[in-house]
Structure 1
Amino acid sequence: MSGKSDRSGTLRPLLGDPTDGIDPYLPDNGNLGYRVTRYDLDLEYKVDSNRLSGEAVITATTINELGRFALDLSDALRVEKITVNGKRPSRHSHRNRKLSITPATPLAPGAAMTIAIRYSGQPRPIRGTWGEVGWEELTEGALCANQPNGAASWFPCDDHPSSKAPYRISVTTDSPYYAVANGVLTRKRTRASQTTWTYDQVEPMATYLAGVQIGAYSKVTLAKRPVPVHAVLPDRLRHNLASSFDRQVQMMEAFREMFGPYPFPEYTVVITDDDLEIPLEAQGFSTFGANHCTADHRWERLIAHELAHQWFGNSLTLFRWQDIWLHEGFACYAEWLWSEWSGGPSAEELALRYHERLRNLSQDLVIGDPGPEKMFDDRVYKRGALTLHALRAQIGGDKFFELIKDWVSSYRYGTVTTGDFTSLAARHSHTSLDQLWQQWLFDERLPGFPYA
């Protein structure tokens, strides 16, 4: 298998190489034969009619000779024009959420490839095993909830978590509305009744973490240094912001202390005017519903969870979906660490509480490979967190936090696997961790509680 060695010495396949195969959890997503190196998206959205017009310019490099290649794109969007390196392709087809393109002449291995696609339509979520994901129309606005395969609902892409690239996202919408996208706002221009918001996302980003949020919002700055922290929300919810999100800045301080530097230039919390069942993470921002902006701290653990994903999931992104515990287990354990740091129940108290709950549930899930139907099962989150608590109990708190900082630093902006983490952890332990990994990640039966 073509690939490169990672720090653990294992051979990791190069994304896009035909010998890689496709992630079995999402066999219809992702594409072979090339690597995307940049996305430039120019979008125009009409809120009242849920009408999206876009032009995507995708820069890529071929891996092998390409006589034909594919991108992921929802059938709800109509392709109007395609060029490859400035030339119209000899043919293309668009069905079953695959846009297949045959360039005018085959592309040599290692060739630069610029694909420009103009498209439009009424975007809608993609239905699948996990319900509806992707572009979602709100009462007055829109949001993107892509995980795991919804990015293709609003732009053509190589929709696989290991396909990370920088982005420029430009959103034009009616002037009363505020548009949020990934990265730093580099330009805002108003002409007549429309405003264009341009964001640059310099750090590589997975497609499922790309997002656009549009609504009747205004911006509040919660902190300017050392990391700018903002909230974007309807004016009617401002009176609850100080009650529900008042510890956001302290969370940032705590996680920087525990995990290392915040990986992006700034962090934004978007609060929609609609209620949402669960919060959503995206790179550089998180989205909460109006129901999460209350006059108390009842949702504080979720606020901590979404912030923690900026390190675990957004900077460090899984290479394959079977390793989702590397995202959710870490973010869940961050909830417990925040509680401990802020004077609430300790991580050990919370770990014991959830261990008792898991004991009363079915013992039929392998956390290290839960299967596509169960990869968002809450047991993956809680047992993933307990795995980290077991590791902390075995190697000690000082070694544990040294390991976490090393993990975050060593794979910053990259893709990771469980093997990467277990190999790195071995360097921070004086004893073998093989039994711990087997019991907690690969055995169905829940181990006994890991007392320190």
Structure 2
Amino acid sequence: MSVAPSDSRHSYFPERGNDGYWVEHYDLALDYRVGANRLRATATVSAFATRSLVSFALDLDRLRVTAVLVDGVPARFAHTGGKLRVTPIRTLHEGTLFTVEIRYGGNPRPAPSRWGGLGWDQLTDGVIVASQPTGAPSWFPCNDQPCDKATYRISVTTASPYEVVANGRLTARRRGASTTTWVYEQAEPTATYLASVQIGRYQAVEVPGAVPQRLLFPPRFAARARYDLARQGLMAELFTELFGPYPFGSYTVVVVDDELDIPVEAQGMSIFGRNHMDGRRGEERLVAHELAHQWFGNSLTLEGWREIWLHEGFAAYAEWLWSEASGGETADVLAERWHRRLARLPQDFPLADPGARRLFDDRVYKRGALTVHALRRTLGDAAFFPMLREWTATYQHGAVTTDRFTRLAGRYAVAPLEGFFTAWLYTERLPALPAALG
């Protein structure tokens, strides 16, 4: 279910997102030629008008639009500056459910950003989609704001030697003379930046369990990938115990035959580079981190990007919880070490509003994890973990804010937490850690 947008959502990326409607569903039909990097597509967007609309806009980068229909009737449109502006023949009144069909295509390219290209990108032999935070318009027209979550149907037709992975459940696979059409359906509401398509020459392995897993990797990396990912089932059991039920029907991991700076997060899916699979579990903390995002980031999605600590702080803390449970260093030891390290670094932003340029600063991740651990020490495990499970249950598949989290946490405390959260979330200076639990 979409969540009403807030005034804060545009503060970091004012060029992304549009007012006046919520999207309920995206139906994307993509025909893609890998070698030529050529996309021909139709997007059907089902939306709900939150006010009367003479016109409206969608986010779409440099692809060429050939036709737009609103409720089946051709509409006027203009496509400039990353915005597709649509004027239907009649006003869409508040409360109206309407559909927009956009026919478009071209050579998709990543959207430029301060972090490099985002969105649809060519691999050596295939495609990766890595859209966080603003890359979704590189491959489909959308309302690119994280709080407007929708369901998806994604159909991809491409050459038959390639495996195609998208969000949700594979509901059809139709093989033609030289191409195959793959159809995926994502029933749980999904933010635009978490919608994804992966195309490559992969070996696919199904791993049963309480959380069914699908692993895809280049055949030559099979042994390394299977070993490095072998403990994901145990991680899922741990996180289900600590955070609450896994929020989706299954979990897919794709290992691409290219090196990636960092793994890529998508809903129900994570993507790793070949450099993250060394056959020795040398990057296992990242495996835990990406799995934890299925709770913190994918099911519970920030309402505005200033809330990034609610994703990265909890996922980074999940690394420490996995270390603790799997015989490695305890969360207490890791917290003390990282507190000493952060104390020696600049302390020049509040965690709850780090600014767009620091969105993926490692200090946000680690101070976020420290904040979660400090709260655990303050509440005690008997209150902390039930609080987390209520958090994930209350806002499952919804949008979250720092204020909602602090109010919920306050109900589990024996003393007011206003001073605690002011120090950890809204003050630049790093606070001292509370005393360790006995």
TM class, shorter-chain normalised?
over 0.9
Task: Give the counterpart of 1:34 among 21, 31, 37.
Answer: 21
Task: Give the counterpart of 2:254 among 253, 270, 277.
Answer: 270
Alignment of 1:121-160 (within 5 A): 121-160=106-145
Task: Give the counterpart of 1:312 among 275, 280, 296.
Answer: 296
User: Deviation string for 1:165-224 (max 9, x for gaps)?
Assistant: 1000011110000000000101111010100110010000000000000000121122x1
User: Deviation string for 1:27-83 (max 9, x for gaps)?
Assistant: 0000011110100000011110111111000000111111010000012x0001110
Task: Give the counterpart of 1:405 among 374, 379, 389.
Answer: 389
Letter of the 1:71 partner, please give it.
Answer: L
User: Deviation string for 1:332-391 (max 9, x for gaps)?
Assistant: 000000111111100011111111110110010210100111111111100001001110
Q: How far is the alpha carbon of 1:21 from its aligned partner? A: 7.0
Task: Give the counterpart of 2:360 among 376, 382, 391.
Answer: 376
- The 8 Å contact of residues 22 and 29 in structure 1, kept in 2 or not, is answered as no
Q: Equivalent residue of 1:334, what SS?
A: helix
User: Are positions 1:302 and 2:281 aligned together?
Assistant: no
* 2-structure distance, mates of 1:358, 1:36: 41
Alignment of 1:66-81 (within 5 A): 66-75=53-62, 77-81=63-67
* 1-structure distance, mates of 2:199, 2:399: 29
Q: CA RMSD for the aligned pairs?
A: 1.2
Residue in 1 aligned with 2:333? 349
Q: How far is the alpha carbon of 1:243 from its aligned partner? A: 2.4
* 2-structure distance, mates of 1:168, 1:22: 26
Q: How far is the alpha carbon of 1:13 from its aligned partner? A: 8.1
Q: How far is the alpha carbon of 1:294 from its aligned partner? A: 1.3
Residue in 2 aligned with 1:202? 187
Percent identical: 52
Alignment of 1:176-215 (within 5 A): 176-215=161-200
Task: Give the counterpart of 2:218 among 215, 222, 234.
Answer: 234
Q: How far is the alpha carbon of 1:268 from its aligned partner? A: 0.7
Letter of the 1:249 partner, please give it.
Answer: G
- The 8 Å contact of residues 69 and 100 in structure 1, kept in 2 or not, is answered as yes
Letter of the 1:14 partner, please give it.
Answer: A
- The 8 Å contact of residues 68 and 102 in structure 1, kept in 2 or not, is answered as yes
Query: Unmatched 5+ residue regions in structure 2?
Result: none
Residue in 2 aligned with 1:62? 49
Letter of the 1:363 partner, please give it.
Answer: Q
* 1-structure distance, mates of 2:8, 2:412: 33
* 2-structure distance, mates of 1:183, 1:439: 40
Q: How far is the alpha carbon of 1:275 from its aligned partner? A: 1.0
* 2-structure distance, mates of 1:384, 1:239: 34
Letter of the 1:97 partner, please give it.
Answer: G
Evaluate the alpha carbon distance shift between residue 428 and residue 392 of structure 1 in structure 2; reply closer, same or farther with a 3 A threshold: same
- The 8 Å contact of residues 14 and 20 in structure 1, kept in 2 or not, is answered as no
- The 8 Å contact of residues 231 and 269 in structure 1, kept in 2 or not, is answered as yes
- The 8 Å contact of residues 54 and 90 in structure 2, kept in 1 or not, is answered as yes
Q: How far is the alpha carbon of 1:107 from its aligned partner? A: 1.1
User: Deviation string for 1:246-289 (max 9, x for gaps)?
Assistant: 11111111111111100000001100011111101100010000
Letter of the 1:309 partner, please give it.
Answer: H
Letter of the 2:40 partner, please give it.
Answer: S
- The 8 Å contact of residues 389 and 450 in structure 1, kept in 2 or not, is answered as no
* 1-structure distance, mates of 2:148, 2:264: 20
- The 8 Å contact of residues 279 and 288 in structure 1, kept in 2 or not, is answered as yes
* 2-structure distance, mates of 1:372, 1:81: 35
Letter of the 1:330 partner, please give it.
Answer: F
Q: How far is the alpha carbon of 1:225 from its aligned partner? A: 2.4
* 1-structure distance, mates of 2:348, 2:116: 22
Q: Equivalent residue of 1:128, what SS?
A: coil
Bigger drift between 21-30 and 108-117 goes to 21-30
- The 8 Å contact of residues 13 and 20 in structure 1, kept in 2 or not, is answered as no
Larger relative CO (CA 8 A, sep 6+): 1 or 2? 2
User: Are positions 1:82 and 2:68 aligned together?
Assistant: yes
Q: Equivalent residue of 2:23, what SS?
A: strand
Residue in 1 aligned with 2:308? 324
* 2-structure distance, mates of 1:350, 1:108: 55
Query: Unmatched 5+ residue regions in structure 1?
Result: 1-11
User: Are positions 1:101 and 2:86 aligned together?
Assistant: yes
Q: How far is the alpha carbon of 1:14 from its aligned partner? A: 2.2
Q: Equivalent residue of 2:164, what SS?
A: strand
Bigger drift between 120-129 and 152-161 goes to 120-129
* 2-structure distance, mates of 1:112, 1:409: 29
Question: What is the TM-score of this pair, normalised by structure 1?
Answer: 0.95
* 2-structure distance, mates of 1:129, 1:238: 34
Letter of the 2:4 partner, please give it.
Answer: L
Residue in 2 aligned with 1:9? none
- The 8 Å contact of residues 3 and 147 in structure 2, kept in 1 or not, is answered as no
User: Are positions 1:46 and 2:30 aligned together?
Assistant: no
Q: How far is the alpha carbon of 1:108 from its aligned partner? A: 1.1
Q: How far is the alpha carbon of 1:131 from its aligned partner? A: 2.1
Q: Equivalent residue of 2:73, what SS?
A: coil
Letter of the 2:289 partner, please give it.
Answer: H
Q: How far is the alpha carbon of 1:241 from its aligned partner? A: 2.0
Letter of the 1:48 partner, please give it.
Answer: G
Question: What is the TM-score of this pair, normalised by structure 2?
Answer: 0.98
Residue in 2 aligned with 1:435? 419
* 1-structure distance, mates of 2:238, 2:406: 25
Letter of the 2:255 partner, please give it.
Answer: I
Letter of the 1:31 partner, please give it.
Answer: N
Task: Give the counterpart of 2:146 among 146, 161, 164.
Answer: 161
Residue in 1 aligned with 2:4? 14
